[in-house]
Amino acid sequence: MPAAYAIMAEFETPAAVLRAAEKVRDAGYRQWDVFTPFSIHGMDSAMGLKNSKVGWFSFIGGCTGYATGMLMIWFMNACDYRIVIGGKPMFSPFSAFPPSYELTILFGSFGALLGMLFLNRLPRLHHPLLKNRRFALATHDRFFVVIETADPRYAESETRRLLESLGSRHIEMVEE
């Protein structure tokens, strides 16, 4: 028999899974997660998650974009290929602003999306949970609390009892 990856408890309403998450958090588990078909308001604090770090990726992307735009235009029009157009200055921050502004947004957006994927360790095309038939309902209308067996506090009977006490009707082990 393959090794167990985690214990999975199913819940039927967002309120039930929110309460369950608070209890699992308070019990001191670390390697666990909640799976929901949509993001539930208040779940981050119920799980004890800190503010997402995606903003930093986007901020760095945006700054890079703006600097790229300004430096690129300065290099191209005032350094490498100087040509007088209607007596305008070779480089002006004003005419260079619109493209730099667009590049700020472009790089900032890539920062947000790629930062999100990096923090989530996606794309990941294989996951033990995705092999579980029951788990397919996590994108439909069910809510799951999953505690990994790798968690230091994990103990099969005790963890199962905790999940049962939280009102889960369906608890099963997930194979590696």
Partner 1 sequence: MAAAPVHHETDSITVQAPPASLERVPLVGNLRSPGWISDRVAAVIEGKTPGWWKICFVISVSMMTLCFAMILYLMSTGVGVWGLGHPVMWGWAIVNFVWWIGIGHAGTLISAILFLLRQRWRTSINRAAEAMTIFAVMCAGIFPLIHIGRIWLGYWLFPIPNANGIWPQFRSPLMWDVFAVSTYFTVSVLFWYMGLIPDLAVMRDRARTRLRKMAYGLFALGWTGSNRHWSNYEKAYLILAGLSTPLVLSVHSIVSLDFSVSQLPGWHTTIFPPYFVAGAVYSGFGMVLTLLVPLRRLLKLEEIIRVRHVELMCKVTLATGSIVGYAYMMEFFIAWYSGNPYERSQFFLTRAADPFIIGPLLHVKPAPCWWAFWTMVTCNVVVPQFFWFKKVRTCMLAVFVLSILVNVGMWFERFVIIVLSLTRDFVSANWGYYAPTWVDVCQFLGTFGLFFTFFLLFIRFIPLIAIAEVKGVTPQADPHHPLGGAKAGGTH
Site for partner 1 in 4-23 (CB under 8 A): 12-16, 18-19, 21
- The answer to whether 87 contacts partner 1 (rule: CB under 8 A) is no
Residue appearing with tokens 């998650």: 49
| Rg, Å, the chain Cα set | 25
- The answer to whether 63 contacts partner 1 (rule: CB under 8 A) is no
- The answer to whether 1 contacts partner 1 (rule: CB under 8 A) is no
Q: Which is nearer to partner 1, 14 or 153 (CB)?
A: 14
Q: Which one of residues 96, 147, 166, 174 is an interface residue with partner 1 (CB under 8 A)?
A: 96
- The answer to whether 165 contacts partner 1 (rule: CB under 8 A) is no
Q: Which one of residues 25, 99, 153, 172 is an interface residue with partner 1 (CB under 8 A)?
A: 99
Q: Which one of residues 27, 30, 48, 55 is an interface residue with partner 1 (CB under 8 A)?
A: 55
Are 174 and 4 in contact by the 8 Å Cβ rule? The answer is yes
Are 73 and 100 in contact by the 8 Å Cβ rule? The answer is yes
Q: Which of 52, 66, 64 is nearest to 111 (CA)?
A: 64
Are 102 and 53 in contact by the 8 Å Cβ rule? The answer is no
Touching partner 1, residues 104-163 (CB under 8 A):
105-106, 108-110, 112-113, 115-117, 119-120, 122-127, 129-130, 135-141
Give start and end residues of each alpha helix (H) in the chain.
14-26, 43-47, 54-74, 93-119, 156-165
